Copies of this chain bind each other. A is one copy, B any other.
């Protein structure tokens, strides 16, 4: 039975690094942008557009209001949003059934939770906001504004969008510990030192 580890993560928590290193250590397939690439192939929509939808930027399937009516952003048609989510579901299920793997984000924990024939571990990685902002500043790409206030806003915005996308499709609260098997706080964690021990939890 394939072991499938899904990794949800707060922006700047080191969740992606942990996921990648965990996959390397265990010799598992690692899927992050590969999910995006596959969805683009299947839907024939542009990569930029699909990525924006997956990151929750400007997309909204259900309105935030009390009436729960269907609505969508100016630039997105509901049909396309549904097409993308359909492809996302298919791609993630196919990857999970292919081999042992680690899948980052993209509602994989929710999409896979009732899939038979896999052993699923749902992991969420988080850290204090200050630690996440510091991490983002330390690892800023060339030309990125590393002003502390601006970075803090960016981190919060990315998380808000991820939470919105997740909650729209799963009707669950993003990051709610009850939807995960293990939650790690990386604020005081040495990720490299912990990988061999964390890896043992998924056997």
Interface residues of chain A, those whose CB is within 8 Å of chain B, are: 124, 126, 128, 175, 177-178, 180-185, 187-189, 194, 197-198, 200-201, 203
Contacts of A187 in B (CB 8 A): 181
Q: Max chain B CB contacts within 10 Å: which of A124, A175, A177, A203?
A: A177
**How many copies of this chain?**
2
Quick check: B194 and A126 within 8 Å, CB to CB?
Answer: no
- What's the least CB distance linking A92 to chain B, in Å? 20
A-B contacts besides A124-B177, A182-B185, A197-B197, 8 pairs, CB < 8 Å = A126-B178, A175-B177, A178-B185, A180-B185, A181-B184, A181-B189, A183-B183, A201-B201
Contacts of A181 in B (CB 8 A): 184-185, 187-189
Nearest-neighbor residue (CB-CB) of A200 within chain B = B197
Contacts of A175 in B (CB 8 A): 177
Interface of A is mostly: mixed
Nearest-neighbor residue (CB-CB) of A180 within chain B = B185
Q: How far is the CA of A124 from the CA of B197 in the complex (A)?
A: 18
Quick check: B177 and A185 within 8 Å, CB to CB?
Answer: yes
Quick check: A183 and B177 within 8 Å, CB to CB?
Answer: yes
Contact partner of A197 (CB less than 8 A), chosen from B180, B189, B201, is B201
Nearest-neighbor residue (CB-CB) of A188 within chain B = B181
Q: How far is the CA of A187 from the CA of B203 in the complex (A)?
A: 17
Contacts of A182 in B (CB 8 A): 182-185
Q: How far is the CA of A124 from the CA of B178 in the complex (A)?
A: 12
Quick check: A194 and B201 within 8 Å, CB to CB?
Answer: yes
Q: Max chain B CB contacts within 10 Å: which of A175, A183, A184?
A: A183
Contacts of A200 in B (CB 8 A): 197, 200
Residue pairs across A and B with Cβ atoms less than 8 A apart, 22 shown, are A124-B177, A126-B177, A126-B178, A175-B177, A177-B183, A178-B185, A180-B183, A180-B185, A181-B184, A181-B185, A181-B187, A181-B188, A181-B189, A182-B182, A182-B185, A183-B183, A194-B201, A197-B197, A197-B200, A197-B201, A197-B203, A200-B200
